[in-house]
Amino acid sequence: MDISLSKREIELARLGRDFFEQVLAPLEILTDEHGELPKEQRKPLREQIVKWGLAGINHSKEDGGLGLTMLEQVVIEEQLGRATNGLWTCVWRPPVSLRYGTAKQKQEYLVPSNAGDRRGAFAITEPNAGSDNNAVTTSAVLENGRWKLNGEKWFVTSYKASDFIIVHAHVDGDPAKPTLFLVDSNADGVVHLRSPKFMHNYAFDHAELRFDDVMLAEDRMLGEIGQGFELTKRWFVEARLQIACHTLGAATRALDVANEFAGGRVQFGRPIRDFQAIEFMLADMAVDIYAGKSMLYRLAAEMDHGLDQKIIHARASAVKLFCSEMAGRVIDKAVQILGGRGYMRESPVERLYRDIRVDRIWEGTSEIQRVVIAGQIKKRGLDVYAGW
Ligand SMILES: Cc1cc2nc3c(=O)[nH]c(=O)nc-3n(C[C@H](O)[C@H](O)[C@H](O)COP(=O)(O)OP(=O)(O)OC[C@H]3O[C@@H](n4cnc5c(N)ncnc54)[C@H](O)[C@@H]3O)c2cc1C
């Protein structure tokens, strides 16, 4: 079994690393101090992304994307994940659900999103519908050939940096008809309630929105009536893999920083790495990263070899669960190794510590991933995870 990376994959990883170091890293402190990426930085950054050849990372060439394999995407995203303050999100990944749109929808939404001219936010969560997606009460009713949308959505990431929202609603308020809709942000009746502050200072906001009788043309429905959950599931798979990529990148950066610090910091007359307490932490961090990276790269390669969609969904949960929890353990140890310096905001490990906490919550909490994994074991047997 040859599992070495190809020359192209190594080159793409290098590209991602260079982009992080030269373009994203210089924006980190600025973003943290400002609370989000300052507005005046956004256009120049978009231009850099296009110039570096990173526009449309997750879509086919026919749809204006780069046509990369999953493993090629993973090696780039892992390097972008080194960035603090969620700056990796600036390298857009237009929602995969757009792939299932009509030719007209693709021309209007997907192609310009791949070019960086448009950006879409995704809204499923509501005040009373978090882990339980079926509890969504946002409704869409067809009236005289137009959809009427009503409801409230929370935690809509990147709302202010987007010009459209993919909204998960129930047609006629019926949970058996979950359906996606394309809503332009400037449509009448789209009300921005607020964008609260969170533990991390992320590149963009997380908004609370209300839809008050928002009227949509009939062709703003994405996919078919009742297909919403299936399309959202595809989004979850990709988003969970992306979380695995950036948490892996974050953990690896924290280990780099801690490893270097442990070699240079002298206490009691010797480098602290010579104390076994410190060296064992470095060893545990390295092993955690080795395990997470192995899982992620294996799944990406399997996806490129046509793994069944249901097994992809099952394994994506495991990879997301492991990598997000692994990064929490690794970065916590990095803070400990750096001592007081690890608690300073100017240190990347302090920022990573704040950033990484949400990865156990969004795109399905750790508990929900365990629910999925346990369900898969019951349904398909242990081989989904323990077999090869
Ligand atoms: C910064 C941020 C950005 C986000 N961005 C978006 C976005 O862009 N779009 C969007 O739609 N949503 C977004 N979300 C929402 C996110 O996906 C939800 O927060 C998440 O799914 C959990 O839902 P909840 O917060 O309502 O928690 P709840 O579902 O209320 O869960 C509370 C607790 O109960 C546990 N729990 C719930 N059900 C079970 C169960 N069956 N078994 C065991 N434990 C259970 C959970 O694991 C958790 O610990 C974002 C959230 C955050 C924090």
pLDDT digits 0-9 by tens, 118-129 = 999 999 999 999
Shared domain check, 235 and 293:
yes
Show which of 115, 140, 159 is a domain's final residue.
Answer: 115
Confidence grade of residue 388 (pLDDT, cut at 50, 70, 90): confident
Confidence grade of residue 226 (pLDDT, cut at 50, 70, 90): very high
Shared domain check, 346 and 363:
yes
Looking at the domain assignment, is residue 341 inside a domain? yes
Burial class (CB in 10 A: 0-12, 13-18, 19+), 241: buried
What integer pLDDT is reported at residue 235 of this predicted model? 87
Residue whose structure tokens are 């997470």: 292
Please list, in sequence order, all residues whose beta carbon lies within 8 angstroms of the beta carbon of residue 292, skipping any fewer than 6 positions away. 244, 247, 248, 251, 319, 322, 323, 326, 327
Q: Whose CA is nearest to atom 12 of ligand 1?
A: 125
- How far apart CA 153 and CA 127 sit, in angstroms, is 7
R_g over Cα of the chain: 21
Shared domain check, 369 and 278:
yes
Shared domain check, 329 and 185:
no
DSSP state of 4: P
Looking at the domain assignment, is residue 1 inside a domain? no
Centre of ligand 1 to C-alpha 271, Å, is 43
Amino acid, single-letter form, for residue 226 = G
Asked if residue 123 has its Cβ within 6 Å of ligand 1, the reply is yes
Shared domain check, 361 and 287:
yes
Centre of ligand 1 to C-alpha 84, Å, is 22
Asked if residue 52 has its Cβ within 6 Å of ligand 1, the reply is no
**Residue 296: CA count within 13 A, CB half-sphere:** 32
Question: Strand, helix or coil at 163?
Answer: coil
Contact 15, 9 (CB under 8 A): no
Asked if residue 201 has its Cβ within 6 Å of ligand 1, the reply is no
Residues of the chain above pLDDT 90, percent? 98
Centre of ligand 1 to C-alpha 202, Å, is 18
Shared domain check, 304 and 347:
yes
Shared domain check, 133 and 86:
no
Centre of ligand 1 to C-alpha 123, Å, is 13
Q: Is the dihedral of CA 387, 13, 24, 43 positive or negative?
A: negative
Catalytic positions are 363
Centre of ligand 1 to C-alpha 273, Å, is 39
Asked if residue 297 has its Cβ within 6 Å of ligand 1, the reply is no
Looking at the domain assignment, is residue 2 inside a domain? no
- How far apart CA 371 and CA 346 sit, in angstroms, is 38
Residue 227 has pLDDT above 90, yes or no: yes
Atom of ligand 1 nearest to the CA of 364: 21
Asked if residue 371 has its Cβ within 6 Å of ligand 1, the reply is yes
Shared domain check, 124 and 104:
no
Residue 292 has pLDDT above 90, yes or no: yes
Asked if residue 12 has its Cβ within 6 Å of ligand 1, the reply is no
Residue whose structure tokens are 């980190």: 28
Looking at the domain assignment, is residue 206 inside a domain? yes
- How far apart CA 314 and CA 376 sit, in angstroms, is 6
- How far apart CA 95 and CA 323 sit, in angstroms, is 22
**Alpha helix stretches (DSSP H) within the chain:** 7-19, 28-34, 39-51, 70-80, 103-105, 111-115, 228-264, 276-304, 309-338, 348-356, 366-380, 383-386
What integer pLDDT is reported at residue 269 of this predicted model? 98
Domain with residue 142: its CATH number is 2.40.110.10
Question: What average pLDDT does this structure show over 222-243?
Answer: 93
What integer pLDDT is reported at residue 1 of this predicted model? 86
Confidence grade of residue 233 (pLDDT, cut at 50, 70, 90): confident
Asked if residue 365 has its Cβ within 6 Å of ligand 1, the reply is yes
Shared domain check, 381 and 252:
yes
Show which of 191, 209, 225 is a domain's final residue.
Answer: 225
Asked if residue 367 has its Cβ within 6 Å of ligand 1, the reply is yes
Atom of ligand 1 nearest to the CA of 153: 11
Contact 151, 194 (CB under 8 A): no
pLDDT digits 0-9 by tens, 28-61 = 999 999 999 999 999 999 999 999 999 999 999 9
Shared domain check, 107 and 198:
no
Our count of domains for the chain comes to 3
Atom of ligand 1 nearest to the CA of 202: 1
Question: Which residues form the domain of 331?
Answer: 229-386
Centre of ligand 1 to C-alpha 154, Å, is 10
Shared domain check, 158 and 57:
no
Shared domain check, 290 and 245:
yes
Query: What is 105-140 written as a DSSP string?
Result: HIIIIIHHHHHTS--EEEE--BTTBSS-GGG---EE
Atom of ligand 1 nearest to the CA of 158: 8
Show which of 68, 94, 115 is a domain's final residue.
Answer: 115
